[in-house]
């Protein structure tokens, strides 16, 4: 077993050895150290754990038993915060250490991914306000464009087929009330 | 038993019963392949159409629908990382990486054959052990359920991959989310900041978000990369031969699936997770699990399909529907004036025996449909990624809505999709979150119920044999991989 493998095992949660040269970020790529991602995720998790812990105090306990409805989430929140802190501490230590031979988080075509997220979040909003069929007729071609597929005939045919499929299978056959 | 089989076979002399069987397989195939539509939902939707049918025809149709949908959930899981059924999420862990290597045909073939053999063996087990297994299921009280959930959660040390701490963080994130909703014992709302959360975080929406929508976002990164060329799959005889190297795995996973299926409330997802993890322990190449190891596909599919006949045992013998699907089946029988339970074998023996025969006969139909379908399904992998991403995303949004008929479910799926994508970027995998979502509620509710029933006596968990066995197994399952990891590390350091 190589020294690099050994290093990974000694630090189970640590960075894997770099097998390729450090990836170069360009306009079509977002690149940052995995520890930065860890710190962001752990801070978010700590906030989640804190919210659960604090909010659990407002849960009324009429049980009269050893473990009430608030105890389980509180206990879990504490353990969750503990593990998140451990991961956070490890990431901070690695970040402060000089030199870097670890993993990188790579997001290819970040603008498309961000646009995809925005479109995803937009869909339920559109569906709520203009109904499923119109929302889908607008949303699906937009998603095709974000997904880098721009042949108009195919986009129109796919959108129309999907809407017809929804109408026939879900609304007419399965009786799903489509708004 | 012989007389019962004769009655059941006599029922199959009717063309209507055969029609019901084929219709059930075909509809189940479609229902299972559509994300958001589970077997239970599909069966519930079909019930109104069965009002006017003969009871045997309707039962055969519903049972074969259940069987086919359990299998076909693996198709989108393998092809687009979108579990058609919740239990197929485990199939996706290795099936999808196989598809990315151009081995979609291999993965689909293993899933259909693994499902078929497991279902057949499990049906035979059901026929001969229905009485014993029912007594086993009845032995499960809150303490046993809690211990079972702990055993399931202890699999985290195997499922974590190379980073145990990330696995734990993911598991705890999932566990804390399961505390949202109405309290399982006192009925008070907890963390319910929207009415949609009253019954907890919608599981199907979370699953679709974590797997499918996160995958769609990943696809957006590489829509300009051409699809991986397909690897050839052999003819039908060769396809059947693919399963031979996995026979031990198949037997183990089938038994696990059948036994877990018998326990009311345990379900196919727990069976898949358990069989997958057990196989990982037995495998000669455990490190390749999660990166496209065919053993993972066989284990998950065999277990979730073996679960179905197991779930029928308490339903037929006691009238206890352990799952949504069997509850729907009990309802369908009741509509026709047939009461599931101990007397069904005396008052309407043709019903349980028709179910056995439907499972045995329906399986070859499903295999044929599956094996011929493989050649068609794998062509989908050659469709441009942009089209797949858009259609999968739209289907998931529609399926999520159809599952609960509320837009709230879509919001949840979208949120889990974005969070799942972000977490995967920092190597926090969805599998531990799914494990927690499946088992969290089972663990908390039964832990507290056991304490209430025992007057806050913690000893209750150590005074029931099944509970003690499960807890001891949980400790072994949890600690063993960690010890092995440490040993390997030390060995590596010494060798270095």
Show the tokens assigned to B80.
Answer: 């687009």
Question: What is the model's pLDDT at position A9?
Answer: 34
A11, A13, A19, A20 alpha-carbon torsion, rounded to 10°: -140
Question: What is the model's pLDDT at position A1?
Answer: 35
User: Of all residues in chain A, what percent carry a pLDDT higher than 70?
Assistant: 83
Do the beta carbons of residue A3 and residue B496 sit within 8 Å? Answer: yes
Do the beta carbons of residue A174 and residue B45 sit within 8 Å? Answer: yes
Q: How confident is the model at residue B454 (pLDDT cuts 50, 70, 90)?
A: confident
Q: How far is A85 from chain B (nearest CA, A)?
A: 10
What is the Cα–Cα distance from B271 to B277, expressed in whole angstroms?
10
Question: What is the model's pLDDT at position B299?
Answer: 94
Question: What is the model's pLDDT at position B1?
Answer: 65
> Minimal CA–CA distance to B190: which of A59, A123, A142, A88?
A59
Most confident of A9-13, A65-69, A114-118, B390-394: A114-118
The widest CA-to-CA distance across chain B, in whole angstroms, is 74
A147 has a chain B CB within 8 A of its CB: yes
pLDDT higher at B344 or B415:
B415
Residues forming beta bridges with residue B189, ordered by sequence position: B182
Q: How far is B408 from chain A (nearest CA, A)?
A: 8
Q: Which of A67, A116, A175 sits opposite B220 (nearest CB)?
A: A116
Within 8 A of B427 by CB-CB distance, chain A residues are 34, 103
Label residue A54 exposed, middle or buried (CB < 10 Å: 0-12, 13-18, 19+): exposed
What is the Cα–Cα distance from B203 to B212, expressed in whole angstroms?
14
Q: Which of B173, B219, B389 sits opposite A45 (nearest CB)?
A: B173
Q: Which of A13, A70, A148 sits opposite B165 (nearest CB)?
A: A13
Contact call for B485 and A49, based on CB within 8 A: no
Residues forming beta bridges with residue B181, ordered by sequence position: B190
Query: Which of A14-18, B46-50, B388-392, B488-492 shows the lowest mean pLDDT across its residues?
Result: A14-18
Do the beta carbons of residue B266 and residue B148 sit within 8 Å? Answer: yes
Contact call for A65 and B456, based on CB within 8 A: yes
For testing the chain B interface, which of A2, A4, A11, A83 should be mutated: the one with the most B CBs within 10 Å?
A83
Helix (H, G, I), strand (E, B) or coil at A174: coil
What is the Cα–Cα distance from A126 to A108, expressed in whole angstroms?
28
A53 has a chain B CB within 8 A of its CB: no
Phi-psi group of B180: left, alpha or beta (phi > 0 → left; psi -120 to 50 → alpha; rest → beta) = beta
What is the Cα–Cα distance from B191 to B194, expressed in whole angstroms?
9
Most confident of A100-104, B94-98, B379-383: B94-98
What is the Cα–Cα distance from B286 to B288, expressed in whole angstroms?
5
Q: How confident is the model at residue B232 (pLDDT cuts 50, 70, 90)?
A: low
Count of all residues that appear for chain B in the document:
496
Residue ranges of B 164-203 with Cβ closer than 8 A to chain A: 164-166, 168-169, 172-173, 175-176, 179, 183, 185-186, 188, 190-191
B220 has a chain A CB within 8 A of its CB: yes
- The count of CB pairs under 8 A between chains A and B is 201
Q: Residue B377 pLDDT > 70, yes or no?
A: yes
Residues A10-61: tens digit of each pLDDT: 333 334 444 444 555 455 788 888 889 999 999 999 999 999 999 999 888 8
Q: Which helix (H) or strand (E) holds A103?
A: none
Question: What is the model's pLDDT at position B447?
Answer: 92
Residues whose CB is less than 8 angstroms from the CB of residue B132 and which lie 6 or more positions away in sequence, other chains included: none
Question: What is the model's pLDDT at position B185?
Answer: 86
Contact call for A13 and B173, based on CB within 8 A: no
Mean pLDDT of B32-45: 74
In eight-state DSSP terms, residue A13 is T
| Nearest chain B alpha carbon to A51 | B191
B3 has a chain A CB within 8 A of its CB: no
Q: Which helix (H) or strand (E) holds A119?
A: helix A110-130
Mean pLDDT of B219-231: 76
Residues A93-106: tens digit of each pLDDT: 988 886 666 778 88
What is the Cα–Cα distance from A72 to A52, expressed in whole angstroms?
11
Q: Residue B263 pLDDT > 60, yes or no?
A: yes
Helix (H, G, I), strand (E, B) or coil at A63: coil
Q: Which of A10, A107, A140 sits opposite B390 (nearest CB)?
A: A140
Within 8 A of B456 by CB-CB distance, chain A residues are 65-67
Residue ranges of B 395-434 with Cβ closer than 8 A to chain A: 395, 397-398, 401-402, 405, 407, 410-411, 414, 417-418, 421-423, 425-428
Within 8 A of A76 by CB-CB distance, chain B residues are 172, 175-176, 179
A26 has a chain B CB within 8 A of its CB: no
Question: What is the model's pLDDT at position A145?
Answer: 94
Question: What is the model's pLDDT at position B254?
Answer: 93
Q: Which helix (H) or strand (E) holds A102?
A: none
B43 has a chain A CB within 8 A of its CB: no
Contact call for A148 and B390, based on CB within 8 A: no
Q: How confident is the model at residue B423 (pLDDT cuts 50, 70, 90)?
A: very high
Do the beta carbons of residue B306 and residue B118 sit within 8 Å? Answer: yes
Q: Which helix (H) or strand (E) holds A32?
A: strand A29-33
Q: How confident is the model at residue B228 (pLDDT cuts 50, 70, 90)?
A: low
Chain CA centroid to CA B244, Å: 23
Helix (H, G, I), strand (E, B) or coil at A151: coil
> Minimal CA–CA distance to B323: which of B405, B268, B248?
B268
Mean pLDDT of B106-120: 90
State chain B's mean pLDDT as an integer.
84
Q: Residue A121 pLDDT > 80, yes or no?
A: yes
A64 has a chain B CB within 8 A of its CB: no
Contact call for A117 and B402, based on CB within 8 A: no
Chain CA centroid to CA B298, Å: 13
Q: How far is A153 from chain B (nearest CA, A)?
A: 12
Residues forming beta bridges with residue B483, ordered by sequence position: none
Residues B358-374: tens digit of each pLDDT: 888 888 888 888 888 77
Contact call for B165 and A108, based on CB within 8 A: no
Helix (H, G, I), strand (E, B) or coil at A78: helix
Q: Which of A56, A107, A140 sits opposite B425 (nearest CB)?
A: A107
Within 8 A of A80 by CB-CB distance, chain B residues are 169, 172-173, 175-176
Q: Residue B13 pLDDT > 50, yes or no?
A: yes
Residue ranges of A 85-104 with Cβ closer than 8 A to chain B: 86-87, 90, 103
Give the Å distances, CA to CA, from A179 to A160, B41, B407: 18, 19, 9
Instruction: Enter the ipTM.
Output: 0.84
Within 10 A of A64 (CB to CB), how many other CB atoms are there? 9
Within 8 A of A16 by CB-CB distance, chain B residues are 162
């Amino acid at each position: 077993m190589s020294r690099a493998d050994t290093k990974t095992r000694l630090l189970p949660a640590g960075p894997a050895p770099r097998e390729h040269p450090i990836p170069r970020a360009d306009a079509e790529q977002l690149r940052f150290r995995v520890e930065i991602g860890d710190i962001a995720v752990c801070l978010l998790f700590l906030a989640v754990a804190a919210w659960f812990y604090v909010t659990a105090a407002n849960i009324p306990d009429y049980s009269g038993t050893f473990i009430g409805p608030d105890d389980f989430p509180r206990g879990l929140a504490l353990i969750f915060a503990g593990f998140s802190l451990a991961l956070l501490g490890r990431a901070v230590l690695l970040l402060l250490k000089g030199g870097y031979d670890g993993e990188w988080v790579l997001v290819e075509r970040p603008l498309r991914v961000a646009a995809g997220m925005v479109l995803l979040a937009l869909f339920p909003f559109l569906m709520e306000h203009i109904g499923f069929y119109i929302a889908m007729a607008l949303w699906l071609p937009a998603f095709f464009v974000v997904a880098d597929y721009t042949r108009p005939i195919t986009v129109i045919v796919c959108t129309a087929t999907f809407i017809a499929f929804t109408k026939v299978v879900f609304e007419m056959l399965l009786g799903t009330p489509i708004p | 038993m012989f007389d019962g089989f004769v009655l059941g076979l006599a029922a199959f002399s009717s063309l209507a019963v055969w029609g019901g069987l084929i219709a059930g397989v075909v509809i189940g195939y479609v229902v299972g392949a559509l994300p958001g539509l589970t077997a239970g939902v599909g069966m519930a939707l079909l019930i109104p159409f069965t009002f006017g049918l003969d009871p045997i025809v309707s039962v055969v149709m519903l049972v074969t629908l259940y069987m086919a949908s359990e299998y076909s959930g693996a198709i989108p899981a393998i092809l687009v990382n979108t579990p058609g059924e919740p239990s197929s999420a485990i199939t996706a862990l290795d099936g999808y990486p196989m598809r990315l290597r151009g081995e979609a045909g291999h993965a689909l073939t293993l899933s259909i054959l693994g499902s078929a053999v497991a279902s057949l063996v499990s049906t035979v087990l059901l026929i001969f052990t229905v009485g014993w297994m029912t007594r086993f299921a009845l032995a499960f009280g809150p303490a046993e359920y809690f211990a079972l959930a702990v055993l399931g959660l202890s699999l985290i040390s195997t499922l974590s991959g190379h980073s145990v701490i990330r696995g734990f963080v993911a598991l705890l994130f999932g566990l804390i989310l399961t505390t949202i909703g109405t309290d399982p014992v006192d009925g008070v709302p907890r963390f319910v900041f929207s009415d949609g959360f009253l019954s907890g975080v919608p599981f199907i929406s979370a699953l679709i978000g974590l797997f499918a929508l996160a995958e769609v976002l990943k696809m957006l990164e590489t829509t300009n990369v051409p699809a991986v060329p397909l690897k050839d799959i052999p003819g039908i005889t060769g396809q059947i031969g693919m399963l031979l190297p996995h026979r031990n795995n198949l037997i183990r996973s089938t038994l696990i699936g059948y036994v877990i299926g018998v326990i009311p409330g345990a379900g196919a997802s727990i069976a898949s997770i358990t069989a997958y993890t057990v196989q990982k322990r037995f495998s000669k190449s455990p490190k390749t699990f999660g990166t496209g190891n065919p053993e993972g596909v066989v284990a998950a599919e065999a277990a979730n399909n073996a679960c179905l006949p197991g779930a029928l045992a308490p339903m037929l013998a006691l009238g206890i529907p352990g799952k949504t699907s069997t509850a729907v089946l009990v309802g369908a029988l009741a509509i026709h004036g047939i009461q599931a339970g101990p007397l069904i074998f005396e008052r309407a023996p043709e019903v349980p025996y028709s179910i056995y025969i439907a499972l045995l006969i329906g399986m070859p139909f499903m295999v044929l449909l599956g094996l011929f379908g493989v050649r068609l399904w794998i062509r989908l992998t050659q469709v441009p990624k942009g089209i797949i991403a858009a259609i999968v995303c739209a289907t998931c949004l529609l399926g999520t809505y159809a599952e609960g008929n509320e837009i709230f479910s879509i919001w949840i799926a979208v949120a889990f999709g974005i969070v799942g994508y972000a977490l995967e970027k920092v190597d926090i995998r969805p599998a531990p979150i799914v494990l927690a979502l499946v088992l969290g509620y089972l663990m908390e509710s039964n832990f507290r119920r056991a304490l209430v029933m025992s007057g806050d006596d913690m000893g209750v968990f150590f005074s029931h044999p099944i509970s003690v066995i499960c807890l001891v197994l949980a400790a072994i399952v949890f600690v063993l991989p960690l010890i092995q990891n440490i040993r390997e590390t030390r060995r590596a350091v010494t060798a270095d």
